């Protein structure tokens, strides 16, 4: 597995950097705010007075789970965050006790029907992921007051530049149609979809490596 920030001299893009573990509390809040109105999150998350708390704990779990993969990026002020996941990443095997704690934690996020929806979502996503080497943009979020200022584009460009250098595709599943034009401007195209029962449709998008001065070799 390559280390993204060791590619191309680890240059930064508009203040984008690899997150440190000490950033995770702030990044949890950033993702909580940016995903509060997300159609897919709200398809499975509980819809009562504990909704925001459930989203927050879900986002902290996601950050803790994927942080060891080395693909969590942020802006200097932690007002934006992206989580990139290498193909085949497995954090580790859970013990029976850890699995019981995780099941209890998941149950706090939602209802019985919501748990069924969450398990179905994970299954459908796994079925659509490419089988060849790639990095997946699992999550990207920008705090509301920073949206529309190019921070999301900077997060995307930071990693996509590195993937272009080593000729590796990028993949994502767009949970919100509002974001699709942003992804398309950065070279992603729709290759499939995931319709959720009584819910939104996620768009599966792929970006093949772009030709650049970094990956042209004169022979």
pLDDT tens for 34-74 read 999 999 999 999 999 999 999 999 999 999 999 999 999 99
Task: Say how far apart CA 102 and CA 176 lie, in whole Å.
Answer: 27
Classify residue 190: in a domain, yes or no.
no
List, in sequence order, every beta strand (DSSP E) within 42-195.
72-74, 80-86, 135-142, 170-174, 189-195
CA distance 113 to 46: 10
Nearest partner of 40 among 170, 196, 148, 165, judged by Cα? 196
The CATH number for 98's domain is 3.40.630.30
Q: Tokens 């994970």 correspond to what residue?
A: 122
- 38 within domain boundaries: yes
Burial 50-72 (b: 16+ CB within 10 A, else e): ebeebbbbbbbebbebbbebbbb
Sign of the CA dihedral 118, 123, 121, 54?
Answer: positive
Residue 143 has pLDDT above 60, yes or no: yes
| pLDDT (average), residues 109-130 | 96
pLDDT at 87: 87
Q: For the chain, what is the domain count?
A: 1
Instruction: Report which DSSP code applies to 179.
Output: G
pLDDT of residue 55: 98
pLDDT value at 176 more than 50: yes
Residue 128 makes CB contacts below 8 A (sequence gap 6+) with 173, 192, 194, 204
State which residues form the domain around 155.
15-168
Is 8 a member of any domain? no
Helix (H, G, I), strand (E, B) or coil at 148: coil
Residue 199 belongs to a domain: no
For residue 200, being part of any structural domain is answered with no
According to the model, what pLDDT value does residue 215 have? Answer: 52
Is 154 inside a domain boundary? yes
In a domain, 3, yes or no: no
Residue 175 lies inside a defined structural domain of this protein:
no
pLDDT over 50 at 219, yes or no: no
């Amino acid at each position: 597995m390559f280390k993204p920030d060791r590619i191309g001299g680890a240059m930064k893009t508009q203040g984008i950097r690899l997150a440190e573990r000490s950033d995770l509390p702030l990044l949890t809040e950033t993702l909580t705010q940016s995903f509060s109105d997300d159609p897919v999150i709200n398809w499975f998350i509980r819809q009562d007075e504990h909704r925001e708390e459930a989203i927050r704990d879900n986002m902290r779990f996601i950050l803790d789970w994927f942080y060891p993969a080395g693909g969590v990026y942020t802006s200097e002020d932690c007002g934006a965050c992206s989580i990139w996941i290498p193909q085949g990443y497995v954090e580790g095997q859970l013990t029976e006790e850890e699995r019981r704690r995780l099941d209890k934690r998941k149950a706090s996020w939602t209802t019985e029907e919501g748990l069924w929806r969450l398990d179905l979502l994970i299954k459908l996503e796994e079925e659509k992921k490419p089988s060849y080497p790639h990095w997946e943009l699992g999550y990207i979020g920008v705090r509301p007051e920073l949206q529309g200022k190019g921070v999301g584009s900077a997060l995307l460009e930071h990693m996509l530049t590195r993937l272009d250098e080593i000729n590796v595709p990028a993949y994502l599943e767009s949970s919100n149609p509002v974001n699709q034009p942003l992804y398309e401007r950065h070279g992603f195209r729709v290759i499939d979809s995931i319709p959720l029962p009584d819910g939104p449709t996620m768009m599966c998008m792929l970006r093949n490596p772009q030709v650049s001065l970094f990956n042209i070799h004169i022979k």
